[in-house]
Chains A and B, each alone.
Chain A
Amino acid sequence: MASSLDPHAVIVTEAGSVSEGPLTTADGQPLQKALARSSRAARRRAFWLVAPLLAFIVITFVIPIGQLLYRSVHNDGFSANMPEISAWFAVTEPGTAPDEAAFTALAADLLAASEARSIGTVGTRINYDVPGTRSLFTSTGRQVRRGIEPPYQAALLEIDAEWGDAEIWAAMRGASTPYTDGFYLASVDRTRDIDGNVTMVAEHRQVYVMLFLRTLWLSGLITALTFLLGFPVAHLLATLPMRKSNLLMILVLLPFWTSLLVRTSSWMVLLQQQGVVNDLLVWLGVIDDGGRLAMMYNQAGTIIAMTHILLPFMILPLYSVMRTINPAYVRAARSLGATSWTAFRRVYFPQTLPGLGAGALLVFILAVGYYITPALVGGSSGQLISNMIAEHMTGTLNWSMAAALAAILLAGVLILYWVYDRLVGIDNLKLG
């Protein structure tokens, strides 16, 4: 009763009923539009502020990755220089045996490419798929230029009997279009046979799947090791008095500030057969002089050196999370009747998970793509997929292959990130 007599109450209810329908400004313009206009200038200014960074990211990150993905499916080294045989491949079914028309086209292309001096590019492209065939193209090209007579099938086979090899024809068919999935197939140790079916490559050439698996396994192991070693250190850092924890922090960070190469080389000094660790073990009588441990140029070397180098990436996120955990939580758990182990397991450890997740993700992703350390101390059993990518970049110059391997690695990391997001939630990630 009292409220209905209150004049303010009436006004409030009237104002409430007016607010139905789209809102407008005082002079009748739609409110949405007015808001957009009033904030446009601020938005433009904000855009110019981030524009340099945007340009930097596009130039150094988006474009190169796009290039890389493009290269992994595109290679016109063969198709651009061998148009006639490519045309013949286009109109015939996979598995068709090369006839006289095919050899005629091949001879014409070889002649043209040889004269245009692009025969080397062609040979290199086929050499990716069938090793040792580059010289087949260049030498045949030279002979064709000296002049050959039809029938071309017989003539070419006389120059080199390898021209009858079905494997080469399958490789040429695969390379006859500029866009190909061949490099991805090769990255998982597969290829297309003469009939166009996907098959495994010869056993002695199956390396990539094994390398991918080894990379995942070693990265997982190294992540687990950094966790085991880093967790107590991070806890110590977070709980020691300031002066001592600062000193410890410097000890953790000091290797971080040292050149990667220096750190890896010092591991070489320590771990080699005549190195410090072996000398010490021999001196202590743990092993005899003949039984010196091989801790270098194998997987053990890669694991030891990479665990050490990646340790700070585990410790720092863990530390930053642990520092924020109020010691009262563990005390509360203890006062409620939990033993110190239960208090750790049920109360302390779950609260470190955001840091652990961040650290593990960081270490794992870094380890998956690590290159220098395995290259220096890994020997042959400690090589990772990144070393193979580098080999293709700088050694065989098969950039398409390197791109395909790198793209698979990138996809793997993205999948891992997605799985992490689904399991733990990326919001729970705490890097510092």
Chain B
Amino acid sequence: MTTGSRDADFVVFDHVQKSYDGQVLVVKDLNLTIARGEFLTMLGPSGSGKTTCLMMLAGFETATHGEIRLGGRNINQVPPHKRGIGMVFQNYALFPHMTVGENLSFPLEVRGLSRSDRAERVRRALDMVQMAGFETRRPAQLSGGQQQRIALARALVFDPELVLMDEPLGALDKQLREHMQFEIKALHERLGITVVYVTHDQSEALTMSDRIAVFNDGRIQQLATPSELYERPQNSFVASFIGENNALGGTIASLDGDKATVRLSNGEIIDATAVNIREVGQPTTVSIRPERVEFKPGMMAEGAHTIDAEVADVIYMGDILRARLKVAGQEDFVMKFRNTLGQTKLSAGEHIRVGWHPQDARALDPV
């Protein structure tokens, strides 16, 4: 058997395209391979095609072109109820006319399990999400977090190998959301299931995923681990979509391997790492994370270029301080620095010089 290769390409999108009206492609040539046991997140703004991809995988939409394979089998023509995929919906979609117990035993009933088997499985699933004893409640009698757990239990009760989650935490408040993120992640690890998770919340994606596929305009912009995605974004969209980001426009002044200097619009030169740059003189956008910007000379790399900055204001945020600077004619350049004992106090109107390690400034395609 070829189980080895099956495990690596458990779910495969092979040149998948999708159009609803025959004029606009919502998904443009999607190629994606998901390994068994992986937690993969599809992240992107609304209308980027991520939910369409999920619906094609679940079987509610058909691919206009290309092939979707599950465990090596082409499932393009397999109806949803024969795919054996668990799914958690955006608003949980718990059946309002059934009790929690009936909701959970529904997938077991349609699979023809005996009454005692069903009761046993339902009990185990409820234990798993710490909701034992709620069998006779109706979904409307539960809080949002409890409904979320039941929806999760229902998607897992028939032991699917693949579970899809469509923005499952969108309706919860922040604290509950963070708690559920942790629980879903723990369940994923304990059960060894494969999870495809759709969200537009980048912090959710970063904390939970093994890999993240960033969607925009019907294409995957970058597919990488959370740290890779945050620290080494491949293009301006990914850089701006994930985390806070400073973008400085300019042209390439010199290029040596992946080391580059960029001439900003006001003539100043800064250091950067060339990412998708081909030649000198090419326009570019330099992306720098606010927490990687330095203003104390001792903290900067040897020989790094520094540029003038004027402090517009400083916001006290507790653990960090957030300064808005005017840099190279740009008003909203952000710098974050830790609120430590003896930290230098900046005040509005102050002139400082800022710099960064060349590795932290990435020269990307122009926006």
Number of residue pairs across A and B with beta carbons under 8 Å? 65
Nearest CB in chain A to that of B82: its residue:
A337
Q: Give the complex CA separation of A332 and B154 in angstroms.
A: 10
**Of the candidates A335, A339, A340, A347, which one forms a contact with B95 in the assembled complex, judged by CB atoms under 8 Å apart?**
A347
A342 within 8 A of B: yes
**Of the candidates A329, A332, A337, which one forms a contact with B110 in the assembled complex, judged by CB atoms under 8 Å apart?**
A337
Contact A336 B106, beta carbon cutoff 8 Å: yes
Report the minimum CB–CB distance from B81 to chain A (whole Å): 5
Q: Give the complex CA separation of A331 and B88 in angstroms.
A: 11
B60 within 8 A of A: yes
Contact A326 B93, beta carbon cutoff 8 Å: yes
Q: Give the complex CA separation of A355 and B145 in angstroms.
A: 30
Contact B80 A334, beta carbon cutoff 8 Å: yes
Contact A336 B154, beta carbon cutoff 8 Å: yes
Q: What is the interface of chain A mostly: helix, strand, loop, or mixed?
A: helix
* Contact residues of B between 155 and 195, Cβ < 8 Å to A: 155, 158, 164
Contact A336 B58, beta carbon cutoff 8 Å: no
Chain A 330-358 interface 0/1 with B at a Cβ cutoff of 8 Å (1 = within): 01111111111011001100110000000
**Of the candidates A332, A339, A343, which one forms a contact with B87 in the assembled complex, judged by CB atoms under 8 Å apart?**
A332
Given contacts A329-B93, A329-B95, contact A337 B58 (CB under 8 A): no
Nearest CB in chain B to that of A334: its residue:
B80
Contact B89 A331, beta carbon cutoff 8 Å: yes
Contact B107 A337, beta carbon cutoff 8 Å: yes
A35 within 8 A of B: no
Contact B81 A334, beta carbon cutoff 8 Å: yes
B97 within 8 A of A: yes
**Of the candidates A328, A329, A347, A350, which one forms a contact with B90 in the assembled complex, judged by CB atoms under 8 Å apart?**
A328
Residues in chain A near residue B155, CB distance under 8 A:
335-336
Q: Give the complex CA separation of A230 and B213 in angstroms.
A: 46
Residues in chain A near residue B84, CB distance under 8 A:
337
Report the minimum CB–CB distance from A244 to chain B (whole Å): 15
Contact B58 A335, beta carbon cutoff 8 Å: yes
Nearest CB in chain B to that of A335: its residue:
B87
| Residue with the greatest number of chain B CB neighbours at <10 A, chosen from A329, A335, A347 | A335
Residues in chain A near residue B90, CB distance under 8 A:
328
- A interface size (C-beta, 8 A): 19
Report the minimum CB–CB distance from B56 to chain A (whole Å): 13
Q: Give the complex CA separation of A346 and B85 in angstroms.
A: 20
Given contacts A331-B60, A332-B87, A342-B110, contact A337 B93 (CB under 8 A): no
| Residue with the greatest number of chain B CB neighbours at <10 A, chosen from A334, A337, A346 | A337
Report the minimum CB–CB distance from B260 to chain A (whole Å): 49
Q: Give the complex CA separation of A340 and B83 in angstroms.
A: 14
Report the minimum CB–CB distance from A330 to chain B (whole Å): 9
Q: Give the complex CA separation of A326 and B92 in angstroms.
A: 11
Contact B97 A335, beta carbon cutoff 8 Å: no
Contact B110 A336, beta carbon cutoff 8 Å: yes
Report the minimum CB–CB distance from A408 to chain B (whole Å): 36
Contact A337 B81, beta carbon cutoff 8 Å: yes
Residues in chain A near residue B107, CB distance under 8 A:
336-338
Q: Give the complex CA separation of A328 and B94 in angstroms.
A: 9
Contact A328 B97, beta carbon cutoff 8 Å: no
Residues in chain B near residue A332, CB distance under 8 A:
87, 89, 93, 95
Residues in chain B near residue A340, CB distance under 8 A:
81
Nearest CB in chain A to that of B96: its residue:
A351
* Contact residues of B between 128 and 168, Cβ < 8 Å to A: 154-155, 158, 164
| Residue with the greatest number of chain A CB neighbours at <10 A, chosen from B79, B84, B110, B158 | B110
| Residue with the greatest number of chain A CB neighbours at <10 A, chosen from B80, B97, B154 | B80
Contact B97 A331, beta carbon cutoff 8 Å: no
Contact B111 A337, beta carbon cutoff 8 Å: yes
Residues in chain A near residue B164, CB distance under 8 A:
335
Contact A333 B106, beta carbon cutoff 8 Å: yes
Report the minimum CB–CB distance from A372 to chain B (whole Å): 39
Report the minimum CB–CB distance from A341 to chain B (whole Å): 10
* Contact residues of B between 43 and 101, Cβ < 8 Å to A: 58-60, 79-87, 89-91, 93, 95-97
Given contacts A328-B89, A346-B106, contact A337 B97 (CB under 8 A): no
Known pairs A331-B60, A335-B155, A336-B110 / 13 extra A-B pairs, C-beta < 8 Å: A326-B91, A331-B58, A333-B106, A334-B59, A334-B80, A336-B87, A337-B111, A337-B158, A338-B106, A338-B110, A339-B110, A346-B106, A351-B96
Chain A residues with a Cβ under 8 A of chain B: 326, 328-329, 331-340, 342-343, 346-347, 350-351
Chain B residues with a Cβ under 8 A of chain A: 58-60, 79-87, 89-91, 93, 95-97, 106-107, 110-111, 154-155, 158, 164
6 A-B contacts (beta carbon < 8 Å):
A331-B89, A335-B155, A336-B110, A336-B158, A337-B81, A351-B96
